[in-house]
């Protein structure tokens, strides 16, 4: 044989195909916000049900919606609902049903090796930073919130998402609520025109960039901070006037009274609520023609809404309120 | 029965296919022809597919696409200028660094180094060409960026900060860093091909200059290099073509900023990088079409540069280069 | 200083400078390789070569599926690209007329010059969109497009280098043209042709850009050619950009595996070539 390495590779591949032939292979793609809990869920579910293999690619909410529309994945995931334009897209043959999975928080993460105290931010100041109006760390507006903290005179390196992101959508939604200047400017969008900063793909990329660049600040989902030793993040002032640390408790408080979905829970009124919180959704097509796939997906959803919720808090996500879970289990039969 | 024809390439006569599909020769010819034409067809098909799939943005923006600075997926505004700027700028920076170093090294290896050393060094340098782009990117992210951020960029800022190119915030990534990693990636092409061009210069040219009393350097720079200049230019164009199309290493260090900045320390974007980052989730048709149109623009730029390069190298090989000045 | 002394000084300085240039460029190679080998060697472990990736953020696990995925897609690329390139190269060397041959060569060069990301776009429009899924087939197809021109040109090159005397001898014995090609020319050029093929395969195995939106990625073992598939270069990219230290460790390990494969094939190919009929480079 001219190229023995080719033969060996083919044999390896054939063997692995044969071994996995029995598995029900399901493809999903979407938000990076919940990727920790989703990957854990899919991995645990596969261990419990070896016949079901759900391959999830975290490419961003925008990507998830697009792949779902084009039919290149079996279901999608997004931190934001589809826009009217996306719903009306003629390519979207089967309309999705929203299944919220967990709650989570978005934190302002930064990298200031010499600042040991946790910084405090208000929505206004965050808007100023991301608008490029506040561009030095020792700006009086930041200093006013953090009395007694020695802030360096360095430039602020803003990091934002370069891809269509549900995390961005929620973050800009929060900024628009607290800053009229942001609302009039870039506005609420999964991929706004950023006045300043560098873009990285996915939550991972933003977290990676912040970690590598002293003087940088960006917005990432909480778990990325918790799983990375030494990454710093700030507290944010909520609507009730208190500075809140993002945590399972404060995110749960933001969802108090939540019964319907999709819904926005940013800048929630509660005294202990974390202001930049959100639900995240799985976008399940209302019709799944393949019976085996449909059963597998529905089986997974039922598991995620009950047993899966317990796995959320250790990873930094908050479980859904009971009312929401009940409503979802009621709508599960709608997936035909 | 086929008359034996001497065919060692290029000028064999072909029999009319219609008249003889009998005999092994005709079959062999046909089979080979089919496969050769497939290359033709695939390439033409590629251009065709690119062209059709960018119809929406061509229709909407026309030629102004190339000159608009705005890249705003949210509002349906797409312009190619920031990416063309970034692509050209990083490639120019790469050439500014790699051409002097590369041609210098080529001169050393062709003129001064002992034969064995020259062969070994060239071998090692050509291995550099085989290293995948993503590995350059990996090393750049963890070594080059901190190096630029902590030492090189502050130094340049102190010394040359009065020039707009070297002012502004410097975080280690951006145009300059991308240019540096591209320079490293183009070294092998420039050195290898320039060295070949220099080695092809006939001995008597050199010896004539030396006989007239020039120093070794003078004979090199005034006689040998001009004689080989077409081949050297060809290598530069080839290196440029490679730099323009480079994706992974650049994407990892360019900083992904869709606006145009003067400072070399600033973050920017190149055509290849924006396609790599945004393609998988370009949510609407216009966005996708604009990205594909960008791909077409890049393709056209690299075609032109490649064609010029091939032309120069062929002319060098064929006609024995230009005259010594 | 008189003119001669000045010229001699310039001579010394400039010649030394060229030596400096060489040292700089060669040392870059050693730094690149050395750094990667050092980081990769300290990062690689048996788990890396045999296990699947762990869920995001957890340490450990490996890229075994990416290694298999890469091998699969390179195999597909070779299956498509090598025969096409080989037979096309035979055409160019043995059969082609002036104008058509020029056209084919020009198109092959054009295809060779297409940026790899644009090849990815083409594979996406032609395979991913109609199939409605990301797949190893799409990734393999994209890679084959890059393999064809390399194989074609090197096959043509080495066939042209076969001495006329060999062919004429066979023809004088009454062999038809196809026999001359098949039993004399090709075997004589085989070493060089194989070298070209191996070098081409090594090159496409390291490509990442064309796979980004054709094969996408996969957490598990490949389950079929029509499913998204992981590949080593793509994993390196994604892991390098992520914030987790363990991901960085795995990126270095993957880089070492990839680099080792590429360099070993390159060095082997060159040794094979240098033992065969004297060949021209490039």
Residue A179 has pLDDT above 90, yes or no: yes
Q: Both A64 and A186 in a single domain?
A: no
pLDDT at A260: 86
Contacting chains of A (3 CB pairs or more, <8 Å) are B, C
Q: Please answer yes or no on whether A2 and C227 come within 8 Å at the CB atom.
A: no
Residue B280: pLDDT over 90: no
Residue A185 near chain B (CB below 8 Å)? no
Q: What is the mean pLDDT of chain A?
A: 88
Q: How confident is the model at residue B3, as a pLDDT? A: 43
Q: Please indicate if any CB of chain A lies within 8 Å of the CB of C264.
A: no
Q: Strand (E) positions, A111-209?
A: 120-121, 157-161, 198-200
Chain A partners within 8 Å of C245 (Cβ): 228
Tell which A residues from 229 to 258 touch C, by Cβ distance under 8 Å: 231
Which residue in chain A has the smallest CA separation from C220? A55
Residue window 194-233, chain A: list those with CB within 8 Å of chain B: 197-201, 212-213, 215-216
Q: Provide mean pLDDT across the span A48-63.
A: 88
State the DSSP H helix or E strand holding residue B5, giving kind and residue range, or none if neither. none
pLDDT value at position B12? 44
CB A250 within 8 A of CB A103: no
pLDDT of C58 above 80 = no
Mean pLDDT, chain C, rounded, equals 86
pLDDT in tens, B3-33: 444 444 444 445 554 455 567 788 888 888 8
Whole-number pLDDT of residue C140: 94
| pLDDT at residue number A9 | 45
User: Does residue A236 sit in the same domain as residue A166?
Assistant: yes
Mean pLDDT of the region B286-310: 88
Q: What residues of A are in contact with residue B73 (Cβ under 8 Å)?
A: 164, 191
Most confident of A7-11, A88-92, A296-300, C133-137: A296-300
Q: With a cut of 50, say whether residue B322 has pLDDT above it.
A: no
pLDDT for C83 beyond 90 = yes
CA dihedral B149, B152, B158, B164 (to 10 degrees): -80
Q: How far is C229 from chain B (nearest CA, A)?
A: 15
Checking C35-40 for CB contacts under 8 A at 24+ apart, the result is C35/B139, C35/B143, C36/B135, C36/B138, C36/B139, C36/C252, C36/C255, C36/C256, C36/C259, C37/C256, C37/C259, C39/B142, C39/C252, C39/C255, C39/C256, C40/C252, C40/C253, C40/C255, C40/C256, C40/C257, C40/C259
- Per-residue pLDDT reduced to its tens digit, B198-219: 988 888 888 898 899 888 888 8
pLDDT tens, B159-192?
888 888 888 888 888 999 999 999 999 988 899 8
> Does residue A291 belong to the interface with chain B, where contact is any CB pair within 8 Å?
no
Cα B107 to Cα B124: distance, rounded to the nearest angstrom: 16
Residue A53 resides in a domain: yes
Q: Which of A9, A14, A206, A315 to mutate to test the interface with C (most CBs of C within 10 A)?
A: A9
Task: Verify that A84 and A123 share a domain, yes or no.
Answer: no
Percent of chain B with pLDDT over 70: 90
Inter-chain touch C243–A71, beta carbons under 8 Å:
no
- C119 to chain A, minimum CA–CA distance in Å? 20
Q: Say how many CB pairs under 8 Å bridge A and C.
A: 102
Domain match, A166 and A218 both: yes
Q: Mean pLDDT across the stretch B246-270?
A: 90
* Closest to A285 in 3D by CA, of A34, A69, A51: A69
Chains touching B, CB cut-off 8 Å, 3+ pairs: A, C
How buried is C58 (Cβ within 10 angstroms: 0-12 exposed, 13-18 middle, 19+ buried)?
middle
In this structure, the answer to whether residues A88 and A139 fall within a common structural domain is: no
The Cα of A248 is separated from the nearest Cα of chain B by a number of Å equal to 30
Give yes or no for residue C282 having a pLDDT over 60: no
Cβ–Cβ under 8 Å, residues B177 and B144 = yes
- Residues of chain A contacting B255 with CB distance shorter than 8 Å: 198-199
Residues 224-253 of B with CB under 8 A from C: 241, 244-248, 251-252
Taking the CA of residue C46 and the nearest CA in chain B, the distance in Å comes to: 21
The CA distance from B138 to B11, in Å, is 48
Q: Are B148 and B253 in contact (CB under 8 A)?
A: no
The more confidently predicted of residues A315 and C277 is A315
Q: Do C14 and B217 touch (CB under 8 A)?
A: yes
* Helix residue ranges, H only, chain B: 24-53, 55-61, 81-107, 115-130, 133-139, 145-147, 153-160, 175-199, 203-211, 216-219, 225-227, 229-245, 248-253, 271-278, 285-319
Q: Which of B269, B246, B93 has the alpha carbon at shortest distance from B165?
A: B93
Say yes or no for a CB contact (<8 Å) between B74 and A63.
Answer: no
Overall average pLDDT of the B285-311 stretch: 88
Same-domain pairing of A173 and A55: no
Compute and round to an integer the Cα radius of gyration of chain C: 23
**Closest to C70 (Cα-Cα) out of C144, C149, C139:** C139
Using the Cβ of C219 and the Cβ atoms of chain A, whether some distance falls under 8 Å is answered with: yes
Q: Is residue A19 part of a domain?
A: no
Distance, in Å, from the CA atom of C10 to the CA atom of C4, rounded to the nearest integer, reads 10
Q: Could you identify the residue written with the tokens 């030629």?
A: B63
Q: Give the H or E element holding residue C2.
A: none
Mutation to test the A interface, candidates C51, C223, C226, most A Cβ within 10 Å: C223
In this complex, the residue of C108, C116, C205 whose CB is nearest that of residue B247 is C116
Interatomic CA distance for residues A180 and B257, integer angstroms: 25
pLDDT band of A216, cuts 50, 70, 90: very high
CATH of the domain at A190: 3.40.190.10
Q: Which of C96, C110, C164 sits opposite B8 (nearest CB)?
A: C164
- Closest approach of C14 to chain B, Cα-based (Å): 7
C29 contacts B125? CB cut-off 8 A? yes
CA torsion, ordered A312, A314, A315, A320, to nearest 10 deg = 20
* pLDDT tier for residue B319 given thresholds of 50, 70 and 90: low
Q: In this structure, is residue A11 part of a structural domain?
A: no
Contacts of B33 in chain C (CB under 8 A): 91, 95
Q: What is the DSSP string of B18-71?
A: TT---SHHHHHHHHHHHHHHHHHHHHHHHHHHHHHHTHHHHHHHGGGGGT---E
Domain co-membership, A244 together with A118: yes
- Range scoring the smallest mean pLDDT among A181-190, B310-319, C137-146: B310-319
Closest by Cβ to B215, choosing from C8, C35, C91: C8
Indicate the pTM of the whole model. Answer: 0.84
Q: How confident is the model at residue C30 (pLDDT cuts 50, 70, 90)?
A: confident
Q: Kindly identify which residue of chain A lies nearest to residue B143, measuring between CA atoms.
A: A212
Closest in A63, A191, A199 to B256, CB measured:
A199
* Nearest alpha-carbon partner for A89 in A69, A61, A68: A69
**Which of helix, strand or coil describes residue A207?**
helix
**With 70 as the cut, is the pLDDT of residue A283 above it?**
yes
Coil, strand or helix at B74 = helix
**How do residues B74-89 score in pLDDT, each as one tens digit?**
778 899 999 999 999 9
A126 shares contact with chain B (CB less than 8 Å): no
**Together in a domain, A71 and A111:** no
Q: Is the pLDDT of residue C183 over 80?
A: yes
pLDDT digits 0-9 by tens, A23-32: 688 999 999 9
Beta bridge partners of A160: A199
Q: For residue A143, is it within any domain?
A: yes
What chain A residue is nearest to B171 in terms of C-alpha separation?
A: A213
- What's the rounded mean pLDDT across residues B149-155? 89
Q: Which residues in chain C have Cβ-Cβ distances shorter than 8 Å to A200? A: 241
Cβ distance B281 to A213 less than 8 Å, yes or no, reads no
Q: What is the number of structural domains in chain A?
A: 2
Q: Grade residue B291 by pLDDT with cuts at 50, 70 and 90.
A: very high
What residues does C56 pair with on adjacent strands?
Answer: none
| Average pLDDT of the residues in B214-228 | 87
What integer is the mean pLDDT of C219-226?
A: 82
pLDDT over threshold 70, residue A16 = no
What is the distance in angstroms between the Cα of A148 and the nearest Cα belonging to chain C? 30
Mean pLDDT of A268-283: 93
Mean pLDDT, rounded, for B143-149: 90
Note the pLDDT of residue C199: 86
Q: What is the mean pLDDT of residues B37-42?
A: 90
CB contact under 8 A, A6 and C238: no
Mark yes or no for CB contact B138/C236 under 8 Å. Answer: yes
Phi, psi of B80 (to 5 degrees): -90, -15
Q: Are C214 and C127 in contact (CB under 8 A)?
A: yes
In a domain, A8, yes or no: no
Residues of C in contact with A76 (CB under 8 A): none
Residue from A191, A203, A211 to probe the interface with B (highest B Cβ count within 10 Å)? A191
> Whole-angstrom Cα distance, residue C87 to residue C182?
11
Chain C positions in Cβ-Cβ contact with residue B124 (cut-off 8 Å) = 26, 29
pLDDT cut 70: percent of chain A above it? 93
Q: Which residue from A minimizes the CA distance to C216?
A: A57
* Greater pLDDT, A9 or A235: A235
- Which of B145, B146, B277 is facing A162, going by the closest CB pair? B277
Provide mean pLDDT across the span A203-227.
90
CB contact under 8 A, A12 and C68: yes
Residues C117, C210 contacting (CB under 8 angstroms): yes
User: Is A16's Cβ below 8 Å from some Cβ in C?
Assistant: yes
In a shared domain, residues A62 and A110: no
Same domain, A87 and A174: no
Confidence at residue B320, expressed as pLDDT on a 0 to 100 scale: 47
Q: Assign residue B269 a region: left if phi > 0, alpha if psi is -120 to 50, beta otherwise?
A: beta
Interchain contact, B125 vs C266, CB within 8 Å: no
The token pair at C77 is: 């690329």
| pLDDT for residue C141 | 95
Per-residue confidence (pLDDT) for residue A248, from 0 to 100:
93
Burial C195-209, CB ≥16 within 10 A → b, else e: bbbbbbbbbbbbbbb
In the A/B pair of chains, how many CB contacts fall below 8 A? 65
**A203 lies in the same domain as A252:** yes
Inter-chain CB proximity A204 and C228 less than 8 Å: no
Contact (CB<8Å) A9/C72: yes
User: What was the pLDDT predicted at B255?
Assistant: 85
Domain shared by A141 and A181, yes or no: yes
- Does a structural domain hold residue A5? no
Domain range holding A200?
105-256+264-276
Pairwise CB contact (< 8 Å): A17 & C74: no
Q: Is B160 left (phi over 0), alpha (psi -120 to 50) or beta?
A: alpha
The larger pLDDT score, comparing residue B73 to residue A321, is at A321
Give the pLDDT of residue C276: 54
Contact C87, B36 (CB under 8 A): yes
Closest CA to B82 of B169, B173, B167, B175: B175
Within a domain: residue A14?
no
Does residue A9 fall inside a structural domain? no
Q: State the DSSP string of C169-215.
A: HHHHTT--HHHHIIIIIHHHHHHHHHHHHHHHHHHHHT--GGGTTTT
Give contacts of B 84-103 with C, CB under 8 A: 100-102
């Amino acid at each position: 044989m001219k190229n023995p390495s080719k033969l060996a590779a083919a044999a390896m591949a054939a063997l692995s195909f044969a071994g996995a032939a029995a598995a029900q292979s399901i493809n999903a793609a979407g938000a990076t916000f919940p990727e920790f809990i989703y990957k854990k869920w899919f991995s645990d579910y596969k261990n419990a049900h070896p016949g079901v293999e759900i391959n999830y690619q975290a490419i961003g909410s925008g990507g998830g919606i697009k792949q779902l529309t084009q039919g290149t994945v079996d279901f999608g995931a997004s931190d934001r609902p589809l826009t009217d334009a996306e719903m009306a897209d003629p390519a979207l043959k089967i309309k999705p049903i929203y299944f919220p999975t967990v709650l989570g928080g978005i934190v302002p993460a930064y990298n200031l090796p010499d600042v040991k105290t946790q910084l405090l931010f208000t929505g206004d100041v965050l808007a100023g930073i991301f608008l490029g109006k506040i561009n030095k760390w020792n700006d009086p507006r930041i200093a006013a919130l953090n009395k007694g903290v020695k802030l360096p005179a360095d430039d602020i390196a803003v990091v934002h998402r370069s891809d269509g992101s549900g995390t961005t959508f929620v973050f800009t939604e929060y900024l628009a609520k607290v800053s009229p200047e942001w609302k009039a400017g870039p506005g609420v969008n999964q991929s706004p025109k950023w006045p300043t900063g560098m873009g990285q793909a996915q939550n991972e990329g933003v977290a990676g960039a912040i970690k590598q660049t002293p003087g940088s600040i960006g917005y990432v989902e909480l778990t990325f901070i918790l799983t990375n030793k030494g990454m710093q993040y700030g507290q944010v002032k909520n609507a009730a006037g208190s500075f809140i640390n993002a945590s399972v408790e404060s995110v749960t408080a933001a969802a108090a009274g939540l019964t319907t979905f999709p819904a926005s829970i940013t800048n929630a009124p509660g005294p202990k609520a974390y202001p930049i919180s959100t639900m995240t959704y799985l976008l399940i097509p209302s019709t799944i023609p393949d019976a085996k796939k449909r059963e597998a997906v529905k089986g997974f959803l039922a598991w995620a809404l009950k047993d899966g919720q317990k796995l959320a808090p250790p990873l930094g996500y908050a479980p859904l309120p009971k009312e929401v879970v009940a409503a979802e289990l009621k709508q599960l039969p709608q997936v035909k | 029965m086929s008359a034996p024809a001497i065919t060692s390439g290029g000028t064999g006569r072909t029999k009319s296919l219609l008249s003889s599909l009998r005999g092994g020769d005709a079959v062999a010819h046909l089979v080979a022809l089919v496969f050769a034409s497939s290359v033709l067809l695939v390439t033409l098909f590629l251009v065709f597919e690119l062209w059709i799939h960018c119809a929406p943005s061509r229709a909407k923006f026309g030629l102004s696409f190339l000159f608009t600075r705005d890249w705003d997926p949210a509002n349906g505004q797409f312009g190619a200028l920031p990416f063309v700027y970034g692509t050209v700028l990083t490639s120019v920076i790469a050439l500014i660094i790699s051409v002097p170093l590369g041609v210098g090294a080529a001169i050393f290896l062709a003129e001064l180094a002992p034969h064995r050393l020259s062969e070994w060094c060239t071998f090692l340098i050509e291995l550099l060409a085989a290293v995948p782009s993503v590995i350059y990117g990996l090393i750049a992210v963890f070594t080059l960026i901190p190096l630029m951020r902590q030492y090189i960029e502050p130094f340049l800022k102190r010394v040359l900060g009065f020039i707009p190119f070297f002012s502004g915030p410097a975080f280690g990534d951006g145009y300059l860093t991308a240019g540096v990693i591209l320079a490293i990636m183009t070294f092998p092409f420039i050195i290898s091909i320039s060295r070949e061009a220099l080695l092809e210069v006939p001995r008597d040219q050199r010896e004539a200059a030396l006989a007239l009393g020039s120093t070794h350097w003078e004979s090199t720079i005034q006689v040998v290099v001009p004689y080989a200049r077409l081949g050297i230019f060809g290598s530069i164009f080839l290196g440029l073509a490679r730099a323009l199309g480079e994706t992974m290493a650049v994407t990892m260090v360019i900083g992904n900023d869709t606006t145009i900045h003067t400072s070399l320390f600033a973050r920017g974007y190149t055509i290849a990088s924006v396609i790599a980052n945004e393609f998988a989730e370009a949510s609407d048709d216009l966005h996708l079409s604009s990205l594909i149109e960008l791909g077409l623009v890049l393709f056209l730029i690299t075609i032109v540069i490649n064609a010029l390069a091939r032309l120069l190298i062929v002319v060098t090989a064929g006609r024995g280069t230009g005259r010594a000045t | 200083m008189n003119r001669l002394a000045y010229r001699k000084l310039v001579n010394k300085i400039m010649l030394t400078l060229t030596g400096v240039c060489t040292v700089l460029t060669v040392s870059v190679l050693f730094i690149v390789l050395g750094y990667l080998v050092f980081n990769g060697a300290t990062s690689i472990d048996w788990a890396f070569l045999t296990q699947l990736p762990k869920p995001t953020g957890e340490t450990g696990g490996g890229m075994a599926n990416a290694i298999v995925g890469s091998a699969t897609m390179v195999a597909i690329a070779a299956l498509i690209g090598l025969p096409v390139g080989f037979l096309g190269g035979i055409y160019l060397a043995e059969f082609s007329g002036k104008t058509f041959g020029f056209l084919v060569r020009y198109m092959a060069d054009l295809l060779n010059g297409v940026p790899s990301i644009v090849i990815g776009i083409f594979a996406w429009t032609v395979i991913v969109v109609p199939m409605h899924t990301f797949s190893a087939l799409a990734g393999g197809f994209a890679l084959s497009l890059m393999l064809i021109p390399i194989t074609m040109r090197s096959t043509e090159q080495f066939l042209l280098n076969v001495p006329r005397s060999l062919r004429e001898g066979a023809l004088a014995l009454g062999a038809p043209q196809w026999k001359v090609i098949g039993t004399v020319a090709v075997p004589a050029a085989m070493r060089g042709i194989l070298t070209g093929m191996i070098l081409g395969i090594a090159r496409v195995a390291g490509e990442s850009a064309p796979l980004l939106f054709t094969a996408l990625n996969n957490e598990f073992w490949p389950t079929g050619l029509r499913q998204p598939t992981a590949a080593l270069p793509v994993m390196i990219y994604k892991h390098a950009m992520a914030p987790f230290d363990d991901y960085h460790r795995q990126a270095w390990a993957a880089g070492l595996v990839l680099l080792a494969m590429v360099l070993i094939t390159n060095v082997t190919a060159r040794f094979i070539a240098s033992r065969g009929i004297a060949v021209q480079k490039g």
